[in-house]
C-alpha cells in the first residue's frame, strides 16, 4: 500500500471518528420537544432520533464500539505502516538521525495523529453538534440506528456488563425530574437573550410559574384594604359608601365585619335604579365562595373560574376574615403591578444607581427574591408573604423609621413607616459597600 493511500485511510478513520462523536453528542443533547415537533411534521429522522433517546444505553454502547474500533484501526495503520515508511525516509534523508529514526517517526506520527484526532475527530464535530443538535440528530439518526442494529450482539454484552458494574458500585438510576424549574427559567432567559422570547413574554412566563407556587394569602387583597357595607347601616350611609367605592363588587356584612354575607354588584344596583325599583341592598346580595388562606393559588383560580361573581372570601384557620381575592388579584400576580381606579395591586421595587433596592413593605417576598437576588427572604420559609412580614419575623418589636439590621449578607433599612405599617424598605448587599 502506498504512503498516500495510507494517509488517506488514516484521515478517513479520523473523519469517521468525528462523525461518531458529532452524532453521539447531537442525539444526546437534542431537545425532545423539538424532535417531537419535527416528528409530528413527518420527519422520519426525528422519529428515529426519539427512539434512540428512549434507550440511550444501547445507543451509546453502539457509538462507543464504533469509536473504539476506529481508534484501534487508526493506531494500527499509523504505528505499523505509516511510522515505518517515515522511519525509512528519515534515515535516508537525514543519515545522522538513522539510529533514532524509528523513535522519531513514532513520535511524529503519534503527535500528528493525536492533533488531527482532537481537532477533526473530537472538538470541531462536537462544536458543530452543539450549534445545531436537533438538525444534526435528525440527519445522523438513520446511520446511527443502523450501527446500533449491526452491533446489537456486542451491545447486549456491554449493557449487561455495565449494569452489573453499576450494581456492584451501588449506583442507581436517578428518579428525579428530567427538567427542573430552574432549568426551565434558564432556558427562558437564554431564549430571551437570543431573541426567541420578547422581554414581556419572559415576564409573563415567570409570572405564571411564580403564581403556581403561591398560596392565596400572597395574592389576596388584605382585610384592611377592603371597602364594605353593613346591612345595619341606614340607607343614606350605604348609598354614600357605594358612590365613593371605585370597585364593581362590594362585600356585605351585618353587624360583624368578620363575617361576609356576600357581595353587591354595581351592575345590579344600576339595573334596579334604571328599573325604578326602591333601593334595598339586602335584596341585591349574592353569595360568594370561601377559601382558606393557605389554599394553593391554582385551586382558587379554578373556584373563581366557576363562580359567576369571580370573587372569593379568604379566611384563616379560625374562620376569621383575612381578605378577599378577585380575578384582578390573580392577573396582577402574573403580569405585575396593575393600577385599577388609581390603586396599585402590587408593591413597587426600584433599583437605585448604587445597586440598592427601594421596595414597598407589601411587596411579595418571592418577587423581591427574584428581582433583587435576595434569596434570604424566602429561604427561611416563615409564615409571611410580604417583605414587611419577613422584617417583622426577624424583629422582636415593631421597628421604627431609620432602624436597620443585617441578615445573611443583606442589609434591611426601614425608610418609612405608615403608622404601624412598614411602608418603604431599602435593601442593599453588604458586600457592595
User: Where do we find the cell 411587596?
Assistant: 363
pLDDT for res 314: 92
pLDDT for res 426: 92
Burial category of 330 from C-beta neighbours within 10 Å (exposed 0-12, middle 13-18, buried 19 and up): buried
What's the number of CA atoms in the CB half-sphere (13 Å) around residue 431? 3
Report the alpha-carbon distance of residue 359 to residue 339 in Å, rounded.
17
3-state SS class at 420: coil
What residues in the chain have per-residue pLDDT under 70? Answer: 1-3, 57, 76-83, 85, 173-179, 256-257, 336-347, 379-382, 431-433
Residue 405's φ and ψ, nearest 5 degrees, are -150, 155
pLDDT for res 347: 62
- Beta bridge partners, 411, equal 406, 428
- Beta bridge partners, 421, equal 418
For the chain, the C-alpha Rg in angstroms (whole number) is 35
pLDDT for res 174: 59
Distances (CA, A) of 224 to 242, 315, 324, 432: 17, 14, 11, 37
DSSP state of 317: T
Antiparallel, parallel or unpaired: β 321-326 and 311-315: antiparallel
**CB neighbourhood size of 362 (10 A):** 19
Report the alpha-carbon distance of residue 304 to residue 288 in Å, rounded.
10
DSSP state of 82: I
Antiparallel, parallel or unpaired: β 339-340 and 343-344: antiparallel
- Torsion sign, CA atoms 157, 163, 167, 168: positive
- Beta bridge partners, 325, equal 312
Amino acid at each position: 500500500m502506498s504512503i498516500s493511500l495510507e494517509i488517506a485511510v488514516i484521515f478517513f478513520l479520523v473523519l469517521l471518528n468525528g462523525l461518531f462523536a458529532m452524532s453521539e453528542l447531537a442525539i444526546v443533547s437534542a431537545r425532545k420537544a423539538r424532535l417531537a415537533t419535527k416528528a409530528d411534521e413527518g420527519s422520519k429522522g426525528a422519529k428515529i432520533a426519539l427512539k434512540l433517546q428512549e434507550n440511550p444505553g444501547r445507543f451509546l454502547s453502539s457509538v462507543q464500539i464504533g469509536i473504539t474500533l476506529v481508534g484501534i484501526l487508526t493506531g494500527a495503520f499509523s504505528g505499523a505502516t505509516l511510522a515505518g515508511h517515515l522511519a525509512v525516509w528519515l534515515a535516508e534523508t537525514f543519515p545522522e538521525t538513522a539510529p533514532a529514526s524509528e523513535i522519531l517517526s513514532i513520535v511524529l506520527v503519534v503527535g500528528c495523529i493525536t492533533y488531527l484526532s482532537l481537532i477533526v475527530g473530537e472538538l470541531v464535530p462536537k462544536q458543530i453538534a452543539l450549534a445545531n443538535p436537533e438538525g444534526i440528530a435528525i440527519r445522523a439518526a438513520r446511520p446511527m440506528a443502523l450501527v446500533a442494529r449491526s452491533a446489537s450482539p456486542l451491545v447486549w454484552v456491554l449493557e449487561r456488563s455495565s449494569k452489573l458494574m453499576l450494581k456492584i458500585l451501588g449506583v442507581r438510576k436517578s428518579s428525579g425530574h428530567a427538567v427542573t424549574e430552574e432549568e426551565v427559567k434558564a432556558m427562558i432567559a437564554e431564549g430571551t437573550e437570543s431573541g426567541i422570547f420578547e422581554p414581556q413574554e419572559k415576564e409573563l412566563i415567570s409570572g405564571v410559574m411564580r403564581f403556581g407556587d403561591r398560596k392565596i394569602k400572597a395574592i389576596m387583597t388584605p382585610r384592611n384594604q377592603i371597602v364594605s357595607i353593613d346591612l345595619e347601616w341606614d340607607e343614606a350611609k350605604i348609598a354614600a359608601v357605594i358612590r365613593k367605592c371605585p370597585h364593581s363588587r362590594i362585600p356585605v356584612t351585618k353587624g360583624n365585619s368578620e363575617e361576609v354575607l356576600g357581595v353587591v354588584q354595581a351592575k345590579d344596583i344600576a339595573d334596579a335604579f334604571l328599573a325604578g325599583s326602591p333601593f334595598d341592598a339586602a335584596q341585591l346580595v349574592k353569595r360568594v365562595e370561601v377559601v382558606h388562606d393557605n389554599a394553593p393559588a391554582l385551586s382558587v383560580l379554578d373556584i373563581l373560574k366557576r363562580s359567576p361573581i369571580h370573587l372569593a372570601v379568604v379566611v384563616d384557620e379560625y374562620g376569621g376574615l383575612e381578605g378577599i381575592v378577585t380575578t384582578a388579584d390573580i392577573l396582577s400576580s402574573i403580569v405585575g403591578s396593575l393600577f385599577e381606579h388609581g390603586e396599585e395591586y402590587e408593591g413597587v421595587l426600584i433599583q437605585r444607581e448604587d445597586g440598592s433596592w427601594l421596595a414597598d413593605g407589601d411587596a411579595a417576598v418571592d418577587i423581591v427574591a427574584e428581582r433583587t437576588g435576595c434569596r434570604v427572604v424566602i429561604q427561611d420559609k416563615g409564615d409571611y408573604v410580604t417583605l414587611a412580614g419577613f422584617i417583622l419575623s426577624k424583629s422582636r418589636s415593631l421597628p421604627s423609621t431609620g432602624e436597620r439590621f443585617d441578615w445573611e449578607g443583606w442589609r434591611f433599612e426601614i425608610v418609612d413607616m405608615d403608622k404601624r405599617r412598614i411602608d418603604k424598605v431599602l435593601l442593599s448587599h453588604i458586600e457592595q459597600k
